[in-house]
Amino acid sequence: MHILVCGGTGCQSSQSDAILSNLRDEIEAKGLSDKVQVILTGCFGFCEKGPIVKIIPDNTFYTQVKPEDAQIIVEEHIIKGRKVDRLLYRNPETKDAVGDSKHMGFFKKQLRIVLRNCGFIDPENIDEYIARDGYMALGKVISEMTPQQVIQEIKDSGQRGRGGAGFPTGLKWEIASKNKSDEKYVVCNADEGDPGAFMDRSVLEGDPHSVLEAMAICGYAIGASQGLIYIRAEYPLAIHRLKIAIDQAREYGLLGNNIFGSDFSFDIKLRYGAGAFVCGEETALIHSMEGLRGEPTIKPPFPAESGFKGKPTNVNNVETLAAIPIIILKGANWYNKIGTEKSKGTKVFALAGKINNVGLIEVPMGTTLREIIFEIGGGIRDGKKFKAVQTGGPSGGCLMEKHLDTPIDFDNLVAAGSMMGSGGMIVMDEDNCMVSVAKFFLEFTVEESCGKCAPCRIGNKRLYELLNQITEGKGSMEDLDRLRNMSVVIKDSALCGLGQTSPNPVLSTLDNFMDEYVAHVKDKKCPAGKCKNLMEYYIIPENCVGCTACARVCPVNAIAGERKEVHQINHDVCIKCGACKDKCKFDAIIIR
C-alpha cells in the first residue's frame, strides 16, 4: 500500500510537510513500515481542497487533511480498512462523500499526459520515474533512431509549443538541426510569468525528470550537447527538485558523457530568472541568460540560427518538453489522434478565480470551456452567475457566455478574440468589473514593459491612463474609440510578443462587454459595483434591524443610528471600503 501526500507549493503552504512526517511516525509506531510506504509526490491538481492525501491502490482521495488526522487515517483506513468519511471529498451538489478519485467530477473528464506522473511518483527519486518507463524514450532514440527520425516523429505528432504562440515543435527542431555549428544549445523556458498560471511549476516540482529526458532527446535530435533551464527565482521548490534530479541523472549516467554507452553527450545547467515577465519571450530570455537586461531583439535572426552566445539555440516551454518522452514511446500516431485537427494532444490549464474547484487540469484539445468550468471546475462559487473567463494571461482576452461551447484549441481561441497563452484560465462572476479587469492587465503590462520600443512603453501607458479615467467616471465616448484605435496601432507596431498582445484584454472587453464601458462613461455607473468613484453605499431601511454591526466596523465612523433603529451612511465621510457591507448579516447594505 502507498500513502501519497501532495508536496506541491499550494499544499506545502498548508502544512503538508507535517502531515507527511506524522504519517511516517504513525506507520512506524504501528510497525507497518515494510507494508506501507508514505511518499511525498508532486501536485494532484486539486489545489482548492488541499492538502491532499491519496491512498493507493484503492484511490481514496482525502481532502483538507490536517497533521493531526494522520493517526485516524492509519488506524481506521490502513489497519481496519475503513475509509475516514469526514475527510472524503463531497459532491458539492448532493453532499455525498465520494470514495475514490475516479468518481470525482474534477478528474472524470481529464486526460493526463503531461501530468502523468504528477501526484503519482516521488519527484526526488529517479527510480520511481524509471519505474514509470522514465528514460526509456531517451534510450530508444539513442539506440534505434537517427536524429532525423526523431524530428520526423515529433513533426508527425503535430505537437505545437505550449508556451503561447503554438509554433510546431518538430519544425522548430528541424530548423535548429539544419543550422550547422560547433555548438548548439537546448533551452527550457521555465520562466512562467503569466499571473495565475502554474502548470510549469507543477511539472517541475512533480516530474522534473520528464523535462530533463526531453531536453536530452532534443539535444540528440538537433545536435546539441548543452542544455540550460531558465527558471524563475520565485520557484524555490522547483529549483530544489531540479537540482536533485540533475544530480541523480548524472549519477545514473543519463546525463553527462557518452549516454547509454553511445557517443552522444549531454548535460544540463540551471540559469535563474529575476522577475521580468518579458523574459518569457525567447530573445529576451537568451539575453537574460547572458547576464544582460532581458530586452527582446528583432526576429530574424531567430534563436534557431543565432541564439545563446550567437549559436543555434532551440527554446521550448516546460509543458511542451514534458510530453516529448511519451510521444516517442507511444508514437506520433497515438498522440495525433488526441485533440482537434490543428491542435493535437492535451493542454494543461490552471483553473482559478471565482470557481469551485481551483486547480491544475489537463484535457484533450477540443474540450469546451463549459465542460472545463462547469463539469471539471464545479461551476461558480457561492452560486453566483458566470460572467467571463480570461484565458491567455495578460496577452489574452476575456470570453463570455456565448463562447462557452467553443471547442478550445489554438485557432478557435484566437478567432474568439483571446489566445491559448500558457494556459491560465481565470473565471469571473457578476461581481467583477470588466473595465477594471482590463485596467488590471494593462497595469501589469505597463510595469513589465521593458521600455525598448515606443508603442509598448508609451502606448500601453496611455491605454492604462484612459482605462483609469473611465473607472473614475471621467471617460467619454470618444475615449472608447481612442482605446480601440490605439490598441490596434500597438498590436501592429510593437517589437515583441509582449507588446503585440498586450492590448488584447482591452480589445476583447470592448468587443464583449461594450455595455459595461458605456455604463461607466455615459451613466457614470459601475454595474459590478467595483469602481469606487462610481458607487455609493446605501442602507435599505426595510432590511436594517439596527444591530450596529456596520457602525462598529466602519473605519471612519460614517455610519450613524441608534440601536434597533435604521442606520444611515454619511456619504461625505464614507471612504467606500465596503467593510459595512461585508459585516451586515441582513443584506441591508447595497451599492448604487
Partner 1 sequence: MSNIKIEIRQEDVSKIKEICASYNRDPQELINILHACQEHFGYLPAEVQEVISAETGIPVAKIYGVVTFYSFFSMTPKGKHPISICMGTACYVRGAERVLEEFKKELKLQVGQTTPDGKFSLSSLRCVGACGLAPVVLIGDKTYGRVAPDDVKKILKEYE
- Under the rule (CB under 8 A), what is the footprint of partner 1? 9-10, 13-14, 47-50, 192-198, 201-202, 233-235, 271-277, 288-294, 309, 350, 352-354, 358-359, 390, 393, 424, 426, 428, 432, 437, 440-441, 444, 450, 555, 577-579, 582
**Which of residues 179 and 390 has its CB atom nearest to partner 1 in the complex?**
390
In angstroms, give the least distance from the CB of 290 to partner 1.
5
In angstroms, give the least distance from the CB of 72 to partner 1.
24
**Which of residues 293 and 564 has its CB atom nearest to partner 1 in the complex?**
293
In angstroms, give the least distance from the CB of 357 to partner 1.
9
**Which of residues 157 and 283 has its CB atom nearest to partner 1 in the complex?**
283
DSSP E strands, 401-497: 424-429
Question: Which residue is associated with the grid cell 503569466?
Answer: 194
Q: Select from 242, 238, 163 the least CA-distant residue to 197.
A: 163
| Residue 550 contacts residue 557 (beta carbons within 8 Å) | no
In angstroms, give the least distance from the CB of 291 to partner 1.
3
The phi and psi torsions of 352 (rounded to 5 degrees) equal -150, 180
| Residue 4 contacts residue 39 (beta carbons within 8 Å) | yes
**Which of residues 407 and 578 has its CB atom nearest to partner 1 in the complex?**
578
Helix (H, G, I), strand (E, B) or coil at 190: strand
| Residue 592 contacts residue 539 (beta carbons within 8 Å) | no
| Residue 386 contacts residue 372 (beta carbons within 8 Å) | no
DSSP 8-state secondary structure symbol assigned to residue 315: E
The strand pair at 185-190 and 89-90 is best described as unpaired
**Which of residues 151 and 463 has its CB atom nearest to partner 1 in the complex?**
463
CA angle 59-350-324, nearest 5°?
Answer: 75
**Which of residues 520 and 576 has its CB atom nearest to partner 1 in the complex?**
576
Task: Please give the single-letter amino acid code of residue 133.
Answer: D
353-364 b/e (C-beta count within 10 Å ≥ 16 → b) = bbbbbbbbbbbb
- Three-state SS for 142-200 is HHHCCHHHHHHHHHHHCCECCCCCCCEHHHHHHHHHHCCCCCCEEEEEECCCCCCCCHH
| Region for residue 366 given its phi and psi (left: phi exceeds 0; alpha: psi -120 to 50; beta: otherwise) | left
Give the three cell numbers for residue 302.
531567430
In angstroms, give the least distance from the CB of 13 to partner 1.
4
Give the three cell numbers for residue 484.
480601440
Q: Select from 422, 448, 498, 445 the least CA-distant residue to 202.
A: 422
Task: Please give the single-letter amino acid code of residue 565.
Answer: E
Give the three cell numbers for residue 138.
531517451
In angstroms, give the least distance from the CB of 201 to partner 1.
5
**Which of residues 274 and 560 has its CB atom nearest to partner 1 in the complex?**
274
CA angle 212-214-217, nearest 5°?
Answer: 115
Helix (H, G, I), strand (E, B) or coil at 285: helix
Q: H or E segment at 55?
A: strand 53-56
In angstroms, give the least distance from the CB of 235 to partner 1.
7
**Which of residues 11 and 150 has its CB atom nearest to partner 1 in the complex?**
11
**Which of residues 117 and 391 has its CB atom nearest to partner 1 in the complex?**
391
**Which of residues 78 and 433 has its CB atom nearest to partner 1 in the complex?**
433
**Which of residues 222 and 352 has its CB atom nearest to partner 1 in the complex?**
352
In angstroms, give the least distance from the CB of 3 to partner 1.
21
**Which of residues 13 and 91 has its CB atom nearest to partner 1 in the complex?**
13
- Cα separation of 108 and 47, whole Å? 16
Give the three cell numbers for residue 487.
490598441
**Which of residues 43 and 249 has its CB atom nearest to partner 1 in the complex?**
43
DSSP of 1-48: -EEEEE-SHHHHHTTHHHHHHHHHHHHHHTT-TTT-EEEEE---S-GG
In angstroms, give the least distance from the CB of 375 to partner 1.
18
**Which of residues 497 and 505 has its CB atom nearest to partner 1 in the complex?**
505
- Cα separation of 283 and 274, whole Å? 16
Give the three cell numbers for residue 53.
492525501
Question: Could you check whether the bond before residue 301 is cis, i.e. omega within 30 degrees of 0?
Answer: yes
Q: H or E segment at 397?
A: strand 397-400
In angstroms, give the least distance from the CB of 8 to partner 1.
8
- Cα separation of 581 and 143, whole Å? 68
